[in-house]
Chain A
Amino acid sequence: MSGTPLIQRTAMPGLGVSAGITFFMLTLVVALPIGALLWQGAEFGAANIWATINRERVWAALWLSFRLSFLAACFNLVFGVILAWVLVRYRFPGRRIIDAAVDLPFALPTAVAGIALTALYAPNGVLGQLTNQIGWQVAYTQWGIWLALVFVGLPFVTRTVQPVIEEIETEVEEASATLGASRLHTLRHVIAPMLMPAALTGFALSLARAVGEYGSVIFIAGNIPLRTEIAPLLIVIQLEEYNYGAAGAIGLAMLAISFSMLLLINLIQIWSRRRIGHV
């Protein structure tokens, strides 16, 4: 390792320009701002950070954000795999439109999604009237937050699993059927293990996106402290009161969650590469 030079000499031009632009932008846009957050945390001190986070309202918000993101990602895992399977394996009218529509949550601005879901599920909304009749209020409850998080994370699992299903060779399924396995047995013991790594990657991406989500949630959440207040909203509230220390402390807690997610995604990919040779 120590024998290899930092950068291999080559005749390819543009090293200075491309490396210069890359590091300049990376420093200005990503490294310096994140560094400022870490610096702020160091200045604020571990004791103050802990005092800020260790309050009922903050714990409630962090726990709510994480728990509902997890539940939304679970739904997206199941629904995303079904969607991917249907889109790759079955032919039916409108399949192309459905395939394109899967990406809509990525393309639609979060604020638009937020007010649209609220208009639908508010007590006087089209779907809200229906759900309220059976005593199920969606908007301004944790259900509403869950729904918004399902929306923003919807495409991840489908998009990671779709290419894997396309590459499955039907010979494997035929072999399984020849050996007497029922279709359900084949799906469970042959197909599911092949899809697992990609599905888990999609799950983790969906989870990571949901934990930090703000725009689509705040309209439908109701934002009641301890009950429907998400963690990113707490940061916004602290900033509006010019409480930079507290905002930084909660920001650091969320950054720590983000980094653990990133680590989780990488571990899943390493694990799946060992297991099946590719992702």
Chain B
Amino acid sequence: MSDATLHKPATPARFRSATEESPAARWALIAVAVGGLALLVGAPLVIVFVEALSRGWAAAVTSLASRDAQSAIRLTLLITAIAVPMNAVFGIAAAWFITKFDFRGKAFLITLIDLPFSISPVVAGLCIVLLFGANSALGGWLVASGYPIVFAVPGIVLATVFVTFPFVARELIPVMIEQGRAEEEAALTLGATGWRTFRTVTLPNIRWALLYGTLLCTARAMGEFGAVAVVSGKIRGQTATMPITIEMFYNEYLSIAAFSMAALLTGFALLTLLLKTALELRHADALSATRRH
């Protein structure tokens, strides 16, 4: 498309660098990108709020005040409050182990940590049901002892930790590799204890990457559907998280209630994006290289 304009000897209207596309091509590509994104991502985002508020604010707020909605919100907050710190602790420990020590099989260990991202959430839920469900030896014994895992809160936590497993670790590992071990070694030489070295030397270096990973982990933990749908048993008022409750309301044709709860989760998602973008802009140098754009 640019050949014609390039080879024409006529006086050019405006100088165009040889590494640029023609203005027409440029605007066409921008239109495709912006239009496509508006249709694919913008429209679903807008429709959530339009549907939630289709009978006004009062109806939306009332639907969120129902007992089922309240218990779903409380449960989702509880699950997130347990699963995210678990993953943060695991992520820090795994990143420390992988970046501060040299051992055989490191690449394999990293692959294992990344594994949950390649497994279908439904299969993840299935695995947990097969391990801890009442039909397995372990699960049967746990249920008999009064500690059911599946169809109860611990199962939902496990499923959530599974699907969000790599988030914190994979943010921290590249950053800690880049920073090396010299600073920690200096602190240790000067007599600091291991814990103090971690707290005063490592933690300040990784805090933004840690926050970034935790943020992504939180967003996914609050919104997980497939894995939780399988392990929770969808017991109303007991194991129905916010996404599960959206499905229940939707299937019962409670459109306002379903979309109001969806709007609430969308609000969280937008907040996450906002914080994430702010981190990328302000602390790009403290995040792993792939996050800097």
- Are A90 and B30 in touch, CB under 8 angstroms? yes
The majority secondary structure among interface residues of chain A is: helix
Most chain A beta-carbon contacts within 10 A, residue among B118, B184, B225, B289: B118
- CB–CB A14/B198 < 8 A: yes
A258 in contact with B266 (CB, 8 Å) = no
Q: Does B133 contact A (CB under 8 A)?
A: yes
Residue of chain B at shortest CB distance from A252 = B123
Asked if A102 and B194 make an inter-chain contact with CB atoms under 8 angstroms apart, the answer reads no
B118 x A103 contact (CB < 8 A):
no
List of B residues within 8 angstroms of A18 by Cβ: 93-94, 96-97, 100
Task: Assess whether A225 is interfacial by the CB under 8 Å rule.
Answer: no
A109-B265 in contact given A12-B101, A214-B225 (Cβ < 8 Å): yes
Beta-carbon nearest neighbor of A187 in chain B: B21
Q: Does B61 contact A (CB under 8 A)?
A: no
| B44, B273, B293 pick with most chain A CB within 10 angstroms | B44
Q: Are A33 and B131 in contact (CB under 8 A)?
A: yes
Identity of the chain A residue whose Cβ is nearest the Cβ of B97 in the assembled complex: A18
Find chain B residues with CB under 8 A from A236 CB: 122, 229-230
| Contact of B2 (CB < 8 Å), options: A87, A183, A259 | A183
* Total A-B contacts with CB atoms under 8 angstroms apart: 305
Secondary structure of the B side of the interface? helix
Is there a chain A Cβ closer than 8 Å to B156's Cβ? no
Contact B250 A219 (CB under 8 A): yes
In the complex, B200 has a CB within 8 A of chain A: no
CB of A276 within 8 Å of the partner chain: no
**Contact assessment for B262 and A115 in the assembled complex, using a CB-CB cutoff below 8 Å:** yes
Report A-chain residues with C-beta under 8 Å of the C-beta of B19: 170, 173-174, 177
Task: Contacts A109-B265, A116-B47 given; indicate if A36 touches B130 (C-beta within 8 A).
Answer: yes
Q: Which residue of B lies closest to A4 (CB)?
A: B104
Contacts of A119 in B (CB 8 A): 47, 51, 259
Query: B77 an interface residue at 8 Å Cβ cutoff?
Result: no
- CB of B10 within 8 Å of the partner chain: no
1/0 contact trace for B224-267 toward A, CB 8 Å?
11100110000000000011101100100000001100100110
Which residue, of A86, A94, A116, A214, has the highest number of chain B Cβ atoms within 10 A?
Answer: A116
Asked if A182 and B41 sit within 8 Å, CB to CB, the answer is no
User: Which positions 1-56 of chain B face chain A at CB distance < 8 Å?
Assistant: 1-3, 6, 18-22, 26, 29-30, 32-34, 36-37, 40-45, 47-48, 51
Task: Check B293 against A166 for contact (C-beta < 8 Å).
Answer: yes
Contact with B along A83-111 (1 / 0, CB 8 A): 10111101010101011111111111111
Q: What are 30 contact pairs spanning A and B, CB under 8 A?
A: A10-B102, A19-B101, A22-B109, A26-B113, A29-B158, A86-B29, A96-B277, A100-B276, A101-B42, A101-B273, A104-B273, A106-B219, A108-B45, A108-B266, A109-B222, A110-B225, A111-B262, A112-B262, A113-B44, A119-B47, A150-B40, A166-B293, A183-B22, A212-B119, A212-B120, A212-B226, A214-B122, A215-B225, A251-B122, A258-B119
